[in-house]
Amino acid sequence: MTADSTPALVQIADADTDGPARSGPSAARGPRARNTKAYLQYVAAKIAGAAVSLIAVLVTSFFLFRLIPSDPVKQMTGGRRVSAEQLQSLRHQFGLDQPMWQQFTSYVGDALTGDFGTSFQFHTPVIDKITEALPATLLLTGTSYVLYTALGIWLGTRTAWRNGSMSDRFNTAFALTLYSVPSFWLGLLLIIVFAVGIGPIPGMFPTGGLESGSETGLAYVLDVAHHLVLPVITLVAVGYAQTLLVMRSSLLDEMGSDYLTTARAKGLRDDVVRRKHAVPNAMLPTFTLMFVNLGHVVAGQILVETVFSWPGLGGLFYQALSVPDLPLVQGLFFVFATAVILANTLADVLYPLLDPRVGR
């Protein structure tokens, strides 16, 4: 290498650095500015993807339930003898005599303004029925969500940290068993044993519903809590098992990491190593699961709500599907899917804040 080539190499090296000596417009853009720009681009891409998903759901919700081999107008008559003119009048009243493309354009246009039509069987706006049933669903699924998330994370951490112990084997096997059990079957079993009563076990809880209908004040709150016990146990039993298994698997992957060995070498207590080093990193997959389940809080649990006659969105969806009440089914399906999509999008947006490697 000659002396004449040295200045050129120095200039190339200077051009590749991000140090403070660099001049020009790019000097104001440090790593933090570039990271912020990349994060905003990442968020914009996720929001755009969510918007596309919502449009797909809107289209799917219209055509999917029209594949059901049933005439909603005849179902509304309840099997009574109705003349052809009356049936045609009902079809015209609900817009079912229009061409499919015209029904679709009307549905999309109204849905974009929050109008999902009028329920066939309840003769009230769909949005009113959804608003009426939403609090019951949030009460049931929200209570269950908080309980099974906390229980799953706690037990998943303990079982993984004591990997191979008797408690680890028992908790893992029990969680796998519950995770494999259909929620509606478990709900029916709980009703038989603890609501109806079997053998020496008397019935201690209501078989279904939200309330008895005759209580007020504190007695009403206790009555609702009494009705909550069995459906909440059903949802917690299935939900905690999934959270436990994910948390346990994530923590086991972290336990052999070098940074934990370094923390122990510094003399930190084992519980400090677990709480402040291992668990925060192992929480990342569980964090994603938490937001997926958060979307299901609004979507409800159709089978569990039906088994326990719970007056929420899940039970309402089952009633609408049995007709089929097309406007109500479409509206509920869109609300369910929107809740899940928004929860997943929120998880994607927040994830890079916990793990900077994401979104770069």
Instruction: Kindly tell me if the per-residue pLDDT of 150 is higher than 90.
Output: yes
Contact criterion met (CB below 8 Å) for 168 and 260: no
pLDDT recorded at residue 11:
43
Using the CB atoms, write b or e for 212-247: b if 16+ within 10 Å. eeeeeeeeeeebbeebbebbbbbbbbbbbbbbbbbb
Q: Tell whether the torsion through CA atoms of 333, 335, 340 and 344 is positive or negative.
A: positive
- What are φ and ψ of residue 342, in 5° steps? -65, -40
pLDDT recorded at residue 129:
92
Contact criterion met (CB below 8 Å) for 97 and 88: yes
Beta strand spans in 59-145 (E): none
What is d(CA 80, CA 316) in angstroms, rounded to the nearest whole number? Answer: 24
Instruction: Kindly tell me if the per-residue pLDDT of 1 is higher than 70.
Output: no
pLDDT recorded at residue 149:
93
Quickly list DSSP for 266-294. TT--HHHHIIIIIHHHHHHHHHHHHHHHH
> In this structure, what token pair is assigned to residue 116?
């999902």
pLDDT in tens, 315-332: 899 888 877 788 888 889
pLDDT in tens, 273-331: 887 778 888 888 888 888 888 887 876 688 899 899 899 898 899 888 877 788 888 88
Beta strand spans in the chain (E): 197-198, 201-202
> In this structure, what token pair is assigned to residue 275?
């709480």
DSSP state of 98: S
pLDDT recorded at residue 72:
65
pLDDT in tens, 151-172: 999 999 888 888 888 988 999 9
- The answer to which of 94-98, 167-171, 173-177, 344-348 has the lowest mean pLDDT is 94-98
- The answer to which of 46-60, 176-190, 237-251, 274-288 has the lowest mean pLDDT is 274-288
Segment 56-69 shows an average pLDDT of 78
pLDDT in tens, 117-131: 888 888 888 899 999
Residue given tokens 């004591």 in the structure block: 162
Domains and CATH numbers, the chain: 32-121+323-360 (no CATH), 126-322 (1.10.3720.10)
pLDDT in tens, 70-115: 666 666 665 566 666 766 776 666 666 677 777 788 878 878 787 8
Reported for 309-312, long-range contacts at CB under 8 A and 24+ positions apart, including other chains, are 309/207, 309/208, 309/209, 310/136, 310/137, 310/140, 310/208, 310/209, 310/210, 310/231, 311/133, 311/136, 311/209, 311/210, 312/133, 312/134, 312/136, 312/137, 312/140, 312/141
> In this structure, what token pair is assigned to residue 317?
């969806």
Query: Chain-wide mean pLDDT for the chain?
Result: 80
Q: Is the pTM of this model over 0.85?
A: no
Segment 24-39 shows an average pLDDT of 60
Q: Tell whether the torsion through CA atoms of 346, 351, 353 and 357 is positive or negative.
A: negative
pLDDT recorded at residue 100:
75
> In this structure, what token pair is assigned to residue 182?
């259909």
User: How far from each other are the two terminal CA atoms of the chain, in whole angstroms?
Assistant: 38
